[in-house]
Amino acid sequence: MIYSDGYAEGEPRVEFRTDVDDGGGQGAGTGTGRLFPLEELYFCDACSLVCSRYGLTEEIDSYYCPHCLENMPSSEAMLYLNRCSKCFECPICFNTLTITAAHDGKCFFSCQFCRWSSGEIQLEAEKPDMLVAAAFQKERDSPHRTEMNKLVETFRKASQEITRERELQARMRRRSITLFLPATSGEGSKRGSKSGGGAHPWVVEDLENMLKDKKTKLKTMSIRTTTKKGVRIESISLKDLIAPSDEKARSIAEQLKSLDETPTDTIASLDQRTRCINEEAHTLSGLIPSRKPLLTKRSRRCRQCTRYVVKPQINPCSTPPFQKQNIAWLYVPRVLLVHPNPNEIGVGRVMSVSFAMYNPVESNTTARFAADAYNRNISEGEEEEDRDNNSSSSNPFGYTMDVLTEPFETVIGPHNELQDVHEGLIEEDSAAVPTDDNPEIITERKGNKIMVCLRVKPHDDSAGKEATFGIPVELSFKDRTMKEHNTHIHLVFTLGIISGASE
């Protein structure tokens, strides 16, 4: 079984559970988000939060062509239907076309990969500008596009008319209310004066009686009073009603009969037809070049503080390409799991799990592991119903293993780019890190790397399930601007499939 994230069932891996609302209806800070690898997470340096793409909002900054790298504002991109005005795609292999001049002086589109030429569809011109203009005109003259433009214009006019009528009704309603209130206030004052004086200018009963009278009038109105006189209602027969659908079915059948005699190597594929959807061509000879779709540069903001997390350069040719790119890979320690032996994963067996952690920042990172945070608190004498309730409260994510290692704290050394060149720097950095580690937990330390060993045990009722356990970790570090950050991550380990009880 392959999951949507690309992992196979039981494949050993380490993932991160996000602490923000991921679109699944959970609140921020509850730790109930989805699972992501570290490469797909981001870090907000304003609120010190590790979040996924669901915890960010996207904004389109600019449009550009991936071939000529021309930058377009949004108004110009909308004018050209989000496609480049200069570059065209081959209708056969979808590579970018080039303009070639023949011996007779005519210019045409040619593909350098599949050797397709626009001369096959009589798309030629004497100058390159005229050739591009001819391709534009052929795209505009498409009958399907013309019909669609007519429909869009019709619905736009209808929408404007509906909006105008609604505004008129709202204006008339406000006017009628202003006219009604003085009249009712006058009647109320007269009635109050007759009865010996009233405190209010009008009463609610007057308004209710008026609404009841209006409702009874609407019920008694006949349909003849609302219909226009002299208008004849024309009838239509069933044959005339289904005639257009029958004609369309016959035309499709005739097209299918003509395809029986067409060679298969001249029939356009589904992808080729969708790329040239204006023509709806069934054969390769009916395909025309299409303009290259534009790409977008998007910035991303944190949903919690609305600060920028990713901000690209407006110009696609700028170096570096990003003004700001806070990916979690540059801030959060990277975790590499040492794959365990599948034969050791069984009910009732206590096993050791080792993983390495790499510190990517240039300062010491303090990591506090709450190893037993999601262990099941179940006693032997509990009933089955109480057992399930306690399990769900202490283990809300359905982990199948308990961590026997006690909570611990450690310091990971800073990252130094010269460590790989000078081995002496590794020893100096390791000696500068204040450590008071338990050798049974932190088994090895070198530079900005540590090796962690945990003792875990599967649940008694977890045979045949995935071996999973989670550990919340609190991180404290400083970035390059020496700003101190305190953030939380949630590590989720998957070791394999749990076998039955040991012999």
Between CA 379 and CA 377 the distance in angstroms is 7
The whole-number average pLDDT for the span 134-159 is 87
Q: Using 50, 70 and 90 to split pLDDT, how confident is the model at 44?
A: very high
Q: Is the pLDDT of residue 328 over 50?
A: yes
Residues 404 and 352: beta-carbon distance below 8 Å? no
pLDDT of residue 462: 84
The whole-number average pLDDT for the span 218-223 is 58
* Amino acid letter, 45: D
Burial code (b: 16+ CB inside 10 Å, e: under 16) for 195-213 equals eeeeeeebeeebeeeeeee
Element (H, E) at 355: strand 351-358
**pLDDT above 70: percentage of residues in the chain:** 74
Q: Using 50, 70 and 90 to split pLDDT, how confident is the model at 136?
A: confident
In the chain, list all ranges with CATH 2.60.40.10.
334-501
Structure confidence by residue, pLDDT tens digits, 58-116: 999 999 999 999 998 888 999 898 999 889 999 999 999 999 988 888 899 999 999 99
Q: Using 50, 70 and 90 to split pLDDT, how confident is the model at 21?
A: very low
Between CA 131 and CA 124 the distance in angstroms is 6
Residues 42 and 300: beta-carbon distance below 8 Å? yes
Between CA 104 and CA 385 the distance in angstroms is 89
Name the token pair of 321. Answer: 């390409």
Nearest to 333 by CA among 12, 50, 46: 50
Which residues are CB-neighbours of 136 under 8 A, at least 6 positions away? none
Q: How many CA atoms lie within 13 A of 491 on its CB side?
A: 25
* Amino acid letter, 404: L
pLDDT of residue 232: 61
**Collapsed DSSP state (helix, strand, coil) of residue 171:** helix
Q: Using 50, 70 and 90 to split pLDDT, how confident is the model at 319?
A: confident
pLDDT of residue 22: 41
Between CA 4 and CA 251 the distance in angstroms is 42
Task: Work out the mean pLDDT of the chain and round it to a whole number.
Answer: 80
The whole-number average pLDDT for the span 363-383 is 77
Burial code (b: 16+ CB inside 10 Å, e: under 16) for 58-84 equals eeeebbbbeeeebbbeeeebeeeeebb
**Collapsed DSSP state (helix, strand, coil) of residue 435:** coil
Element (H, E) at 185: helix 143-194
Task: Find the distance separating the first CA and the last CA of the chain, reported in whole Å.
Answer: 29
Q: Using 50, 70 and 90 to split pLDDT, how confident is the model at 463?
A: confident
Between CA 374 and CA 400 the distance in angstroms is 10
Write down the architecture of domain 334-501 according to CATH. Answer: Sandwich (2.60)
